[in-house]
Amino acid sequence: MRITANPALVANLLLTALPKVAEFAMAEKAPVITPPATPVAQPVSVEMLVTLATVEPTIDRRRRIAADADRGLRALERLDRALAAGLPPVERLEEVAAWSAGPHEPQDPELAAIFNEIELRVRIELAKHEFIV
């Protein structure tokens, strides 16, 4: 295995490591090659960690809410398929009612509107079949 390095970086390191060689290079008017500027890593601050800690739960909360909404929609779809096949089984109505009884209070107005629509549809289906929660 052969390791190659940036020649400009090696030359600059050698020139800065050996002051006498650098003085000699300046006397000879040899051009000093400077390496390209590399970004310096910023130290991690407490504020940055706190910000990351508060952002990540927001993302997780939205995922959890989306999964909950998806579960409600799937329950409605299963109920719809059961209705298309004939009489709805009690298990499907109980599944929809159980989803409806759970806590659904998203803080995001868009998610709240979606949940309200799903909740309304669930209540309509339960009322059609006179299934009391």
Per the listing, tokens 């020649």 go with 7
Number of domains in the chain: 2
Q: 28 and 70 share a domain?
A: no
Range of the domain at 30: 1-35
Residue 43 located in a structural domain? no
Task: Kindly report the pTM of this predicted structure.
Answer: 0.54
Burial of 103 (0-12, 13-18, 19+ CB in 10 A): exposed
DSSP 87: S
Q: 31 and 79 share a domain?
A: no
| 19-52 pLDDT per residue, tens | 554 455 555 555 556 666 666 556 667 777 777 6
Distance CA 94, CA 87 (A): 14
Q: 119 and 69 share a domain?
A: yes
Residue 49 located in a structural domain? no
78 and 92 in contact (C-beta within 8 Å)? Answer: yes
Residue 25 located in a structural domain? yes
Residue 107 located in a structural domain? yes
Residue 42 located in a structural domain? no
Residue 46 located in a structural domain? no
Q: Which amino acid is at 49?
A: L
The backbone torsions φ and ψ at residue 92, rounded to the nearest 5 degrees and listed phi first, read -65, -40
Angle between helices 109-128 and 90-101 (to 10 degrees): 150
Q: 122 and 81 share a domain?
A: yes
Q: Print pLDDT tens along the chain (133 aa).
A: 455 556 665 566 555 655 554 455 555 555 556 666 666 556 667 777 777 677 667 778 888 888 888 999 999 999 999 888 887 788 888 999 998 888 877 888 888 888 889 999 999 988 988 877 6
